[in-house]
Amino acid sequence: MVDTTHEMQIGELAQMCHITTRTLRYYEDIGLIEPLRRLEGGFRVYGPETLARIQHIQELKDLLGWSLEEVKGVIQAEDEVDNLRSQYRQSRTDQERLAVVKQATGVIESQLAMVSERLGRLDGMRGTLQAKLQRYGELEAELREQVRSQEGKL
């Protein structure tokens, strides 16, 4: 069960995500998120699911370097599967629901492939960095020795 107890307004949510309210409204503009509902005055009200959603968005954006437009495609596919469980859009036939799951599976698989590829390249990068660090260490030792011998001459 999702904790529906802690509702919040845009400022608090922004703080928890370490982003600005402007960014949240912008994400809403481009269809990435939506408030649970609004107060009479028009104030946006969010639940904790949105916090998780934002974090998910930031992972896709920062870790995979995707644009918000690309991110949108992915989470929309995920959303559709989530909606299969709820009564919302229960109207689909089972064949249609199967198609939705298949499509989302494809999205996740390609995402997984991308993550794996990145893991490989990052690991390669780590290797070269470690090698470079070792070379620098040796160079430093060498230079230290030279400095020492020069100090001896004083």
The C-alpha atoms of residue 131 and residue 150 are separated, in whole angstroms, by: 29
Q: Does 76 bind DNA (CB under 7 A)?
A: no
Find the helix packing angle between 48-58 and 21-29, rounded to 10°.
80
Q: Does 54 bind its own copies (CB under 8 A)?
A: no
Shortest spacing between CB 47 and DNA, in angstroms: 14
Structure tokens, 44: 């946006």
* Site map 11..40 versus its own copies, x via CB under 8 A: ------------------------------
Which pairs from 110-116 meet CB under 8 Å and 24+ separation?
111/64, 111/74, 114/64, 115/64
Asked whether position 137 contacts DNA by CB under 7 A, the answer is no
Assess 69 for contact with DNA (CB under 7 A).
Answer: yes
Binding of DNA by 55 (CB under 7 A): no
Range in contact with DNA (rule: CB under 7 A) among 22-30, 84-92, 126-134, 139-147: 22-30
User: Alpha helix (H) ranges present in 4-93?
Assistant: 10-17, 21-29, 48-58, 68-85
Give the residue with the Cβ less far from DNA, 24 or 77. 24
Q: For residues 24 and 11, what is the distance between their CA atoms, to the nearest angstrom?
A: 9
Query: Among DNA, its own copies, none, what binds residue 110 when CB lies within 5 to 8 Å by partner kind?
Result: none
- Which residues are at the interface with DNA (CB under 7 A)? 9-12, 19-23, 25-26, 30, 38-44, 61, 67-69
